[in-house]
């Protein structure tokens, strides 16, 4: 009954163009075609699409081969461009929490190869000052919805920022790494939840992966099992 009332008051609209849609997936046919979903062969570490056929060997991009990631496997749902960019900017800055549910459905689909028994889901933490400015942590909302879709438990404050880090925009991979050194840690009161347990760290966008690396390293240092990462969108590589 409640559900029906909500749907009458807020009929689902396309996240791309705002026309009415009748599915939970949140996009009309045209916007669906214009949204760069990642499909086919991908780097098993960072989720970027790769040329060529999938074989039985582990598939990784050049970057991940050169600089192995601290996590064991990762996936991304969208390429960060065109329509995907618009959807994510809406999620990030536009106070559009209705974007969360459909995107969590897409992400649950991308997460399938990563799901392990007893896995715990955790968002990349946002620093408190930025949280206040933005009013909500979009990764935490995504994680909550994703936990509902996958049936996995989640811990919204498993990871915390210990220091305020400047924006990573325009910084090189090394600079990003230096900035993030020790900036993310496991919450002292949540440590017991990840002992020996696989963790899925979730973020909205992956650029270099430096933030996700800092999160994975913090989990491993605190005694977690293998770490996996899932992002809504992967920025195409700049080099």
Contact residues for Zn ion (CB under 5 A)? 14, 16-17, 28, 31, 43, 45-46, 61, 64
* Cβ atoms of 209 and 147 closer than 8 Å: no
Residue placing its CB nearer to Zn ion in the complex, 74 or 125: 74
Listed in sequence order, the DSSP H helices in 94-136 are: 100-111, 128-134
- Residue 126 Cβ, how far from Zn ion at the closest point, in Å? 25
- Residue 114 Cβ, how far from Zn ion at the closest point, in Å? 14
Backbone torsions φ then ψ of 124, nearest 5 degrees:
-65, 130
Residue placing its CB nearer to Zn ion in the complex, 198 or 209: 209
Distances in Å between the Cα of 7 and the Cα atoms of 96, 98, 109, 145 are 16, 12, 24, 18
- Residue 123 Cβ, how far from Zn ion at the closest point, in Å? 21
Residue placing its CB nearer to Zn ion in the complex, 155 or 212: 212
Residue placing its CB nearer to Zn ion in the complex, 43 or 158: 43
* Cβ atoms of 77 and 233 closer than 8 Å: yes
- Residue 63 Cβ, how far from Zn ion at the closest point, in Å? 5
Angstrom distance (rounded) from CA 17 to CA 6 = 21
Residue placing its CB nearer to Zn ion in the complex, 50 or 179: 50
Distances in Å between the Cα of 111 and the Cα atoms of 18, 105, 151, 191, 205 are 27, 10, 12, 24, 15
- Contacts (Cβ under 8 Å, ≥6 apart) of 113: 73, 75
Backbone torsions φ then ψ of 187, nearest 5 degrees:
-55, 130
Residue placing its CB nearer to Zn ion in the complex, 35 or 138: 35
- Residue 230 Cβ, how far from Zn ion at the closest point, in Å? 14
- Residue 103 Cβ, how far from Zn ion at the closest point, in Å? 15
């Amino acid at each position: 009954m409640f559900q029906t009332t909500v749907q009458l008051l807020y009929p689902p609209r396309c996240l791309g163009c705002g026309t009415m849609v009748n599915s939970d997936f949140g996009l009309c046919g045209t916007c669906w075609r214009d949204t760069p979903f990642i499909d086919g062969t991908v780097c098993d570490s960072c989720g970027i699409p790769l040329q060529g056929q999938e074989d039985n060997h582990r598939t990784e991009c050049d970057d991940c081969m050169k600089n192995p990631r601290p996590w064991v496997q990762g996936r991304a749902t969208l390429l960060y461009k065109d329509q995907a960019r618009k959807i994510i900017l809406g999620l990030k800055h536009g106070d559009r929490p209705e974007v969360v549910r459909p995107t969590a459905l897409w992400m649950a689909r991308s997460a399938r190869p990563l799901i392990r028994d007893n896995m715990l889901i955790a968002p990349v933490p946002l620093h408190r000052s930025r949280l206040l400015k933005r009013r909500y942590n979009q990764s935490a909302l995504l994680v909550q919805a994703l936990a509902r879709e996958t049936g996995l438990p989640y811990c919204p404050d498993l990871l915390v920022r210990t220091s305020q880090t400047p924006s990573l925009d325009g910084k090189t991979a090394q600079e990003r790494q230096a900035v993030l050194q020790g900036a993310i840690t496991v919450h002292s009161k949540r440590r017991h939840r990840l002992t020996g347990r696989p963790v899925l760290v979730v973020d909205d966008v992956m650029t270099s992966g430096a933030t996700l690396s800092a999160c994975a390293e913090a989990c491993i240092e605190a005694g977690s099992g293998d770490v996996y990462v899932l992002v809504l969108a992967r920025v195409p590589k700049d080099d």
